Chain A
Amino acid sequence: MADYSYVREDMLPEREPPVSEVGIIGWLRENLFSGWFNSILTILSLMFIYMILAAIVPWLWTPTWGAGSLSECREIIADLGKQHGGACYGVITERWQQLLFGFYPDELRWRPILTFLGLFVALGPVLFSDVFPRKVLWFTGAYLFLAPWLMWGGAIWTPLLVAAGPALGYLAYRFLYGVIGNLGAVIVAVLVPILFWLFLVGPISSGLFSVIPLGLEVVESRLFGGFMLSVWIGVVAIAISLVLGVVLALGRQSDLLIVKYLSVGFIEFIRGVPLITLLFVASTLLNIFMPPGTNFDIILRVMIMATLFASAYIAEVVRGGLAALPRGQYEAADALGLDYWKAQRLIILPQALKISIPGIVSTFIGLFKDTTLVSIIGLLDPIGLTGSIRADANWNGIVWELYGFIALLFFLSCFAMSRYSMWLEKKLRKDHH
């Protein structure tokens, strides 16, 4: 046995690292004051930030929430002795409900609020699939049809009949599959619900309503407005454009030449024209193409245009994701006997969409902000409302407070989307490696 002169019996306790290496001071030294050049930069930046804040904060920090007009605000500010003026928040106190809901009737506002809250429940199982039970997906499905009904009101029969459309399409498919083959059956299955919605839902619903008058009070589209309108158009367009965009991206890669060129033509055309022209088409031209007698709701028309617009961009983003997948993935799926749709759904799209998340979310954020363009065709989204608010004698001349409030609403929504996409990317990366 070896003979050791010294064997340690107790471990030394761990000692705290020296103060200068940790904590705030350590962090400051390491990140902001490491060397004279960095120190000078830090000090200059701090001075710059101070100057900006010194100009803005006093302006922001103004107790004008109770003012009833711009001149009242000015008096309050003058009394405070501020030289550079201050914000006039009275306009927001007075008009925030209008900026949020437009002219949606006061006593019915629980409906958009309920729709908005329902949105989160409906999105839950889609966005946070591991927290929400899958059963909630049934609610998501029902929500698609209930949300428009809550917003616009009318007979309960309308959403039920609309929901019956896809079922009819499916029946038509099953029935015709054996008779006219797959492609024909698919075309009919798509046409049947559309025709049913356009021509039959209205009459049948009002017929049923005259027998069993169940429903909500109707709110007309011209009363829709404010941030509610932006969210309403944005959410619908985002949801549908994702589906349509994926279909277009697959169409663009298809071996069927007709499908391919239709997809390419659609994508290139839509991407080649400004959204505002599409919105003008929606507001004026579209009615010309519709069968006489059908009065096609202006908000629906705008939603369709915004959806088509976004779907062309989504299609290109998703195509990038598809192209990034190695060919071996397709071959392995083929070799295992998966057919085209199963291979797409189980193997290709989950990977391609994962790659495309940043691009998809950017497109959504862009689309959501672009909904403000509807103000140009006369819809009263927040921007559209600013016109009438600023024309009000009380608030004539107000700018920053109003647009700042609207900007804040949009910023919060877009920032949330951006954070969600980062979270999702991180989660998927962790899951897979």
Chain B
Amino acid sequence: MSTLELEPSVDTSKMQISDEVAIQIADMNKWFGTFHVLRDIDLTVYRGERIVICGPSGSGKSTLIRCINRLEEHQAGKIVVDGTELNSDLKNVDKVRSEVGMVFQHFNLFPHLTVLENCTLAPIWVRKVPRKEAVERAMHFLEKVKIPEQANKYPGQLSGGQQQRVAIARSLCMMPRIMLFDEPTSALDPEMIKEVLDTMIELAEEGMTMLCVTHEMGFAQAVANRVIFMADGQIVEQNEPKEFFNNPKSERTQQFLSQIIGH
């Protein structure tokens, strides 16, 4: 496991959790064919929360957060994002997707478009932002992820860490209220992990609601207000990071933690 050298200080002043519900998942179940991948998921996320989801491979972490913007469809139970229920109504799906940003393990940038075009595409075509404004916005976020000078390059010309930061900027350009991260650093070389985590920490400091599947336990300890442990398609345990790491309740969690930390 790669550990994060903790930032000297994470500025927690704006990290406030309101009592407004951002995501409500109730009694949610999902199957892939006959395989019961998510079982009875109940999860309420409040605005401003920073949640880290961890667990062994195949436990359904990706599937869970992909259900939140309906890249996967759930079969039973209820998912409400920002007051909009995810069901077969495509308008709802589009609404949720334009409110929720997602960052993938393999970046999934559009290789035939420049970095800038990657960032302006969705605002222009989905949000109908005028081109000039979209470019300004894109440059703003590219500066934020510290690669404005790469704006006119193609993704294939950037390093993995830079690509992932572009992917984050691309999501932010849609002004999402919630960000989902699916193992954003696991495809990166160690020296690039930090630059991406720094970007994510900055986001957290600004009060973004974040759900993050990651095995970066240093990040979890520094930033998360809640850590969720999943196994076999269920939420086995959740707690604030200090308790979670120092005092895991279930045996399954202890076993998992000893595997990834114990060396």
Contact = CB atoms under 8 A, between A and B. Distances in A.
Interface stretch (A107-115, A131-139, A169-177, A324-332): A324-332
B156 A335 contact: no
B122 A338 contact: yes
Nearest to B109: A332
Contacts of B108: 326, 328-329, 331-332
B101 to A, nearest CB: 8
B110 A337 contact: no
Question: What is the size category of the interface that chain A forms with chain B?
Answer: 20 to 34
Interface string B156-177: 1100000000000011001000
A354 B157 contact: no
A331 B62 CA distance: 13
Contacts of B1: none
Contacts of A432: 111-112, 154, 156
B125 A342 contact: yes
Contact of A328 (B69, B94, B104, B174): B104
A335 B98 CA distance: 8
Question: What is the size category of the interface that chain B forms with chain A?
Answer: 20 to 34
A332 B110 contact: yes
Given A334-B71, A336-B174, A337-B126, A433 B121 contact: no
Interface in B92-111: 94, 97-98, 100-102, 104, 106-111
A130 interface: no
Interface centre among A326, A336, A347, A354 (most CB of B within 10 A): A336
B97 A433 contact: no
Contacts of A363: none
Nearest to B154: A432
Contact of A338 (B112, B125, B157): B125
A1 B106 CA distance: 55
B122 A350 contact: no
Nearest to A339: B94
Contacts, number: 67
B86 to A, nearest CB: 13
A337 B71 contact: no
Interface string A319-360: 000000010110110111111001000110011001000000
Given A346-B121, A432-B111, A336 B106 contact: no
B26 to A, nearest CB: 23
Contact of B126 (A329, A336, A347, A431): A336
B110 A347 contact: yes
Nearest to B96: A337
Interface centre among B71, B94, B110 (most CB of A within 10 A): B110
Interface in A408-433: 428, 431-433
Interface of A: 326, 328-329, 331-332, 334-339, 342, 346-347, 350-351, 354, 428, 431-433
Interface of B: 69, 71, 94, 97-98, 100-102, 104, 106-112, 121-122, 125-126, 154, 156-157, 170-171, 174
Given A334-B71, A334-B97, 13 more contacts: A331-B71, A331-B108, A332-B102, A334-B69, A335-B97, A335-B104, A336-B170, A336-B174, A337-B94, A338-B126, A428-B112, A432-B111, A432-B154
14 contacts: A326-B106, A328-B107, A334-B97, A335-B104, A335-B171, A336-B98, A336-B121, A336-B171, A338-B121, A338-B125, A347-B110, A351-B111, A432-B112, A432-B154
Which 3 pairs between the two chains have the least Cβ-Cβ distance?
A332-B108, A328-B108, A337-B98
